[in-house]
């Protein structure tokens, strides 16, 4: 059960009379494995993203915006809860993986695969439940990846409407590691019911977009939270026939970008962003809708993380610093670049402040209210930001400094002058190394003492057609 105090507070707030125009709608567009250099407005030369580029011109680029983990599941847990993944036990140590007795150590997975007994604990308060507490309509369309059992699905975590897939679209019998896991066919869900198996991956982006647009149309007279979680460009990369043809015409017209399926998939994501922004305009709710575009973690080596170093699965900047654009015509200055440190964990507390919702009083929320940064040019509210992978604390950022310790190799970088993490300054600044080691030790102790339990069910079953 959710915490009684929070629910009572939510009911009281929901009964209050707010005028619709006093509270903004919120749209979160979350892609999968898209790198820092995989938007042309972030310097990418291999992709063509005109709609997101225009979104940046009409809004702001967030150039030091981080996810809380370099992998799908823990990153999404942080977005939903406003907490470090380790806080909600969704970035497990290697011992907490799906049961696969013959799995080699180098083939480990995080929780939340197919027929997995682990998931985001139903007692966690998600951003969708925060929105519901003040009368918002909530919808999610796309990839969930926070547990595929009935107890963990989006419909149990505050989303009134859901259409999508429960985990990555490569988790099927054709997966390279199928011999270890015996994955079932990929299910497509409507609410908590499987409506088809093995959906055409080429049309995932298009179908998700169509449902997101319909949600906007259906709820244009209400305040809403819309979460669009594209499964792409995570492999296997895919795009619709319509997107392939449109992209071919763009390239034939002289646009300089790569002619491959990865860039085509990103072009279709950009098309999706355009569809959503256009619908907001058509419905007359554009000015007071905050739209955030970002990714769940860095690109694989098929993508582009330049000028950063590192990729998905690494605590180098390329694994956790995301290409992020925010647009809110009524409030955010157009054409702005904001280089202050912010994270996906901040979306929940910031949104709660915006809409007058109380945060649950009985738990630690790691995210910060970043409204002053976005609207008033304030400095980042973070003293330290911590980077973990596989439940192991590997790095910390303090101001422009980043200390990273992996396999006993210590490196200190100044991200202001060395965004690519090339020059190790640990010997020149031993006092900063000592300070940041102390911060990491304190964080390790605190989060181990105050972590909340992962969700768990016995005897999980594969989702399939009834």
State pLDDT tens for residues 29-41. Answer: 999 999 999 999 9
- pLDDT band of 96, cuts 50, 70, 90: very low
Average pLDDT over residues 67-82: 97
Average pLDDT over residues 322-327: 98
Q: Which of 72, 83, 118, 230 is catalytic?
A: 72
The dihedral sign for the CA sequence 327, 166, 35, 259: negative
pLDDT of res. 20:
47
Q: What is the pLDDT of residues 1-35, one digit of tens each?
A: 565 545 554 544 444 433 444 799 999 999 999 99
Average pLDDT over residues 264-291: 98
Average pLDDT over residues 201-229: 98
Contacts of 260 (CB under 8 A, 6+ apart): none
Is 230 annotated as catalytic? no
pLDDT of res. 182:
83
Instruction: Report helix angle 261-282 to 241-252, nearest 10.
Output: 100
Domains, the chain, ranges and CATH? Answer: 4-379 (3.40.720.10)
Measured CA to CA, the distance from residue 392 to residue 64 in angstroms comes to 22
Kindly give the pairing relationship between strand 392-398 and strand 161-165: unpaired
Measured CA to CA, the distance from residue 207 to residue 196 in angstroms comes to 13
Q: What angle do CA 112, 305, 394 make, to 5 degrees?
A: 60
pLDDT of res. 391:
87
Q: What is the DSSP string of 387-402?
A: EEETTEEEEEEETTEE
Average pLDDT over residues 242-260: 98
pLDDT of res. 177:
80
Is 169 annotated as catalytic? no
Radius of gyration of the chain from its Cα atoms, rounded to whole angstroms:
21
State the chain's mean pLDDT as an integer: 92
Q: What is the pLDDT of residues 416-448, one digit of tens each?
A: 999 999 999 999 999 999 999 999 999 999 999
Average pLDDT over residues 284-290: 97
Percent of the chain at pLDDT above 70?
91
pLDDT of res. 333:
94
Measured CA to CA, the distance from residue 256 to residue 48 in angstroms comes to 8
Query: In 3D, which of 22, 24, 34, 21 has the Cα closest to residue 273?
Result: 34
pLDDT of res. 409:
96
Average pLDDT over residues 202-226: 98
pLDDT of res. 104:
57
pLDDT of res. 26:
98
Q: What angle do CA 352, 148, 187 make, to 5 degrees?
A: 115
Q: Which of 118, 145, 234, 456 is catalytic?
A: 145
Average pLDDT over residues 265-276: 98
Q: What is the pLDDT of residues 349-399, one digit of tens each?
A: 999 999 999 999 999 999 999 999 999 999 999 999 999 998 899 999 999
- If DSSP codes are grouped into helix, strand and coil, which group holds residue 450? helix
């Amino acid at each position: 059960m959710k915490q009684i105090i929070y629910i009572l507070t939510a009911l009281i707030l929901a009964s209050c009379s707010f005028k619709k125009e006093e509270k903004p709608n919120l749209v979160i567009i979350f892609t999968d494995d898209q790198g820092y250099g995989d938007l042309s407005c972030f310097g990418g030369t291999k992709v063509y993203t005109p709609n997101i580029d225009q979104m940046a011109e009409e809004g702001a680029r967030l150039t030091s915006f981080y996810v809380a983990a370099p992998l799908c599941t823990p990153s999404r847990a942080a977005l939903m809860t406003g907490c470090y993944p380790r806080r909600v036990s969704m970035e497990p140590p290697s011992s907490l993986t799906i049961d696969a007795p013959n799995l080699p150590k180098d083939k480990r997975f995080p929780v939340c695969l197919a027929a997995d007994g682990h998931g985001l604990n139903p007692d966690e308060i998600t951003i969708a439940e925060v929105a519901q507490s003040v009368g918002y309509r909530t919808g999610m369309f796309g990839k969930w990846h926070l547990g595929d059992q009935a107890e963990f699905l989006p419909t149990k975590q505050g989303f009134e409407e859901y259409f999508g897939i429960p985990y990555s679209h490569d988790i099927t019998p054709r997966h390279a590691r199928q011999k270890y896991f015996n994955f079932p066919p990929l299910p497509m869900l409507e609410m908590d019911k499987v409506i088809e198996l093995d959906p055409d991956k080429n049309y995932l982006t298009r179908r998700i977009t169509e449902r997101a647009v319909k949600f906007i149309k259906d709820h244009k007279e209400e305040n809403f939270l819309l979460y669009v979680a594209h499964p792409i460009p995570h492999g296997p990369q895919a795009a619709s026939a319509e997107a392939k043809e449109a992209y071919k015409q763009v390239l034939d017209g002289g646009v300089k970008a790569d002619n491959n399926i990865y860039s085509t998939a990103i072009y279709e994501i950009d098309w999706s962003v355009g569809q959503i922004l256009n619908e907001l305009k058509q419905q007359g709710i554009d000015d007071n809708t905050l739209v955030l575009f970002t990714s769940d973690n860095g690109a694989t080596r098929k993508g582009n993380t330049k000028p950063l170093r590192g990729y998905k699965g690494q605590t180098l900047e390329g694994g956790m610093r995301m290409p992020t654009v925010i647009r809110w015509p009524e409030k955010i200055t157009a054409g702005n670049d904001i280089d202050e440190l912010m994270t996906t964990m901040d979306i929940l507390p910031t949104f709660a402040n915006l809409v007058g919702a109380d945060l649950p009083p009985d738990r630690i929320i790691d995210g910060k209210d970043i409204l002053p940064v976005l609207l008033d040019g304030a400095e980042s509210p973070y003293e330290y930001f911590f980077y973990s992978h596989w439940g192991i604390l590997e790095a910390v950022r303090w101001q422009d400094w980043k200390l990273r310790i992996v396999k006993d190799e210590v490196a200190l970088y100044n991200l202001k002058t060395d965004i690519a993490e090339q020059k190790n300054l640990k010997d020149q600044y031993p006092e900063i190394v000592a300070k940041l080691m102390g911060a990491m030790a304190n964080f390790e102790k605190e989060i181990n003492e105050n972590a909340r339990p992962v969700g768990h069910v016995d005897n999980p079953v594969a989702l399939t057609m009834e």
